[in-house]
Amino acid sequence: MSTPLRLSRSIVGQAEAEAVSRVIIEDGYLGMGSEVKRFEEDIAAFLGVPANHVITANTGTAALHLAVQAAVEPGREVLVQSLTFVASFQAISAAGAVPVACEVRPETCTIDLDDAARRLTDKTAAIMPVHYASNPAYLDDVYAFAQRHGLRVIEDAAHAFGCRHDGRLVGTFGDIACFSFDGIKNITSGEGGCIVTADQTVAQLCRDARLLSVA
Q: What angle do CA 175, 153, 105 make, to 5 degrees?
A: 130
**CB–CB of 79/116 below 8 Å?**
yes
Is 185 in the active site?
Answer: yes
Catalytic residue from among 152, 159, 185, 207? 185
- The continuous run of DSSP H or E covering 63 comes out as helix 60-71
Sign of CA dihedral 77, 56, 198, 167: negative
Cβ contacts of 118 within 8 Å, gap of 6 or more: none
Give the whole-angstrom CA distance, residue 153 versus residue 177. Answer: 8
**CB–CB of 88/64 below 8 Å?**
yes
Which residues have a catalytic role annotated? 185
